[in-house]
Amino acid sequence: MTTVHDTVAAPASTPTPTPTPTPGALSVWPGSTTETRPGEVAVGGVALTEVADRFGTPVYVLDEAEVRDRCRTYRHAFPDAEILYAAKAFLCRAMAHWAEEEGLGLDVCSAGELELAVTTGFPADRIVLHGNAKSPRDLESALRLGVGRVVIDSPSEIARIAAAVGPDGHQKVMVRVVPGISAGGHEKIRTGTEDQKFGLSISDGYAQHAIARILDQPQLELTGLHCHLGSQITSVKPYLAAVRRLVGLMACLHRQHGITLPELDLGGGHGIAYRPGEPALDLTSLARKVRTELTEACTAAGLPVPRLIIEPGRAIAGPAGIALYHVLSVKHTGSHTYVAVDGGMSDNPRPALYGVRYAPRLIGRAGGAPAPVTVVGRHCEAGDILAADVELPEDIRPGDLLAVPVAGAYHLSMASGYNLVGRPPVAAVTDGHARLLVRRESLDDIRARDVGL
């Protein structure tokens, strides 16, 4: 790990370079990315070499303007919907502040995410709590702070929430249902199918039974249905199928119980490109087709159109982030060249978990001809591979700086303390300035948690 300079005062402002057309190799980078000279890349008007020098590596770099632009894109595409940023993708106080300023709500999965957001000043009534196994602390925090809705994921939560609210209390709830739709980029991130841990199935009647129980609890107000199909979905079709099935359930509930639910939450899971040329979900097409499908399905069922709720996380934070590493060693073994960096699966477990592929780039100098290499981490695991079989300059050497784009989601939020290397910091860049959002986890932090002998 390189020397940390987290406490160094910000350098004098540097002029933002004149933007140049983004070549194909930079197509998955933030929109503010410029190549000021061969090998020298700037994001948000700040050279990445400057960020690495100032904050050390590994370091996550987050383009604030890209985050805000993506929030606005969702607001524009879904003007009549409620947009909830899925905090599990990446959350810090600044991120909560940006989402609130851009008019988004929050979707949280724990008391930790909830309390960080609320203590930042985020309005609790614009926060939704969900999760398949909510702890007593999760529910206590949600009710104490006054979250807008709690998404019920299992029958046992109904009695728990009703008891915690009390006979004179009131809490808005939704029910997460399983529509029986397979969608997502990997089997481990498909959550709309039967026989997995999330939600209540429509097909076996568990969802309908739970809803009937909720309606018997006067202190619980059922506002709508919730579903989440999975992650990295690049086709609109699964969302349209979900609309049809959920509206069908809403019609059934109207016939059986005489209720008209005012909200329908389609979750998120919107796919993004991690490498140039990969597919991404067409947000404009999604918004247009979902709106049409929802209107037609409700008209056919004789129901008013409920307010739509959308929960993007990765699609907002992911493309706004870059991970920077320094090369520690270059090893030629048989037919392979291994480039080892000063990070790895402790700051990005996703390649090991889901086989995600990235497109790292040499930063700070113009390299030689491209050659196939595998970028690996520093940890004592054979599976600690950040980017397998990618092309980097043949003259790559220790001390070089590598950048991995599309690193804003599920990196820091899934980072671990493996080998006690400490989790990296997060620096925001915008308008030619870089500032620290989350400091590096230090050895002192690690020692402070170890309280016994």
Nearest of 95, 167, 177 to residue 130 by alpha carbon: 177
From residue 296, alpha-carbon distances to 224, 239, 347, 360 in Å are 18, 14, 45, 45
DSSP letter string over 189-251?
GB-SSSSSSSSEESTTSHHHHHHHHHHT-TTEEEEEEE---BSSB--SHHHHHHHHHHHHHHH
DSSP letter string over 19-71?
P-PPPGGGTTS-TT-EEEETTEEEETTEEHHHHHHHH-SSEEEEEHHHHHHHH
Active site residue 252: no
Q: In what order do the strands lie in the sheet with 34-37?
A: 34-37, 40-43, 46-47
Strand partners, 426: 60, 438
C-alpha span between 374 and 338 (Å, rounded): 5
C-alpha span between 378 and 76 (Å, rounded): 43
Catalytic residue among 92, 227, 252, 380: 380
Nearest of 253, 308, 247, 319 to residue 281 by alpha carbon: 319
Q: Which token pair is 434?
A: 């870089």
Residue 404 · residue 386 · CB < 8 Å: yes
Amino acid 409 reads A
Burial grade of 37 (CB within 10 A; 0-12, 13-18, 19 or more): exposed
The residues assigned a catalytic role are 380
